[in-house]
Amino acid sequence: MTNVLFAVFDCVSKLQRVGMVGATPLPGAGSHDSPLTVFTSSDCLGHHILGHPESPQRLQQLLNTSVTTSRELGFPVHHSMARATKDNLERVHDRKYVERMYHLFQEMQERASPLPLDGDTTLSQGTEVAALRAAGIVVQAVDAVLGRAPLPEGQTAPRRAFAMVRPPGHHAEPDKAMGFCIFNNVMVGCAHAQSPLHGMAHTTAARVAVLDFDVHHGNGDQAMCWDHRDRFYASTHQAPLFPGTGAATETGAYDNVVNVPLVHGAGSQEFRAAWRDVILPRVTAFAPDLVMISAGFDGHWRDPLANLALDEADFYWVTKEIVQVAETVSAGRVVSVLEGGYDIEALGEMDNYY
């Protein structure tokens, strides 16, 4: 499934070079020739609960894919050692929750067995490194796309980045872990993008759109956008389904939330109509400085945890459409973050398709 993002971003870069798609980069955004950069770490494999669907094999499949695809499309894969700080986390999570998680991480160093947080979410001895690395990598990807990161001489900042990380994050709420998620990776990145860095105020993204096509509603993403008029959240998701949020009537404190629930068995037609006719026009109207994607691939028809009927072409299509809208509203700046997707064989078939 990563090839969906790789191929789309590469396609848009080619269109830019021949003049078919254009946008004026904002300060620090890099040039039109800037490539996609993938940010990842094998440390994210360390979070491992035996028999759990959110397994290290998901990321391992994508790591294997990225080696071949990076050669074919010519984009860099950065194996990162970034680690989220408490300050990063506390921009979106309650301080007491962050302190509690750090306490539990310390406790895990002396435990031989996993520690359940709820019926779906469990800590292992490798969770601390994996979870802090995942959130930290998203922060690093945001810095790269906003032009905040130091680069070798002659190299421009990428305008598109994919954070290939786990555990996922879009269910994590300000005060609790849930739905396989410890920290809300994409929202940690969103808040970091909106926080001015000393001497680099021109690289701040004042307005951020968070777009979520995971099959499960991103309740955590929504909660962290709800009261912020400078954040926009939109989601397609199966309903009814975990976590039970995401009704069309949930619209945010400033009409800054859009939810389009899809019924059991919905496929390409319903999914594409939701994005084309409802969500993407709202993104354009919001005019974000940065677009972030909660990229979950569990809407695939073979996924064991849901019942939508999407396939590889749908994920390719929605990513392409989002990127093209970003070209008009955010100078093409997109940071995509891996969320769900639990059929390993489907990941392999994505490779064959693209």
Residues designated catalytic:
171
Q: Which two tokens stand for residue 65?
A: 């894919």
Provide the terminal-to-terminal Cα distance of the chain, rounded to the nearest Å. 9
Helices 127-145, 185-193: crossing angle, 10 deg rounding? 40
Q: How far apart are CA 354 and CA 256, in angstroms?
A: 34
Q: How far apart are CA 314 and CA 99, in angstroms?
A: 40
Q: How far apart are CA 132 and CA 98, in angstroms?
A: 11
> Where are the extended beta strands (E) located within 251-323?
257-262, 290-295
Which residues, in sequence order, are bridge partners of residue 37? Answer: 161
* Closest listed residue to residue 53, CA positions, set 304, 288, 259, 352: 304
Per DSSP, 43 falls in state G
Helix ranges restricted to H, 117-156? 127-145
Helices 344-353, 2-17: crossing angle, 10 deg rounding? 30
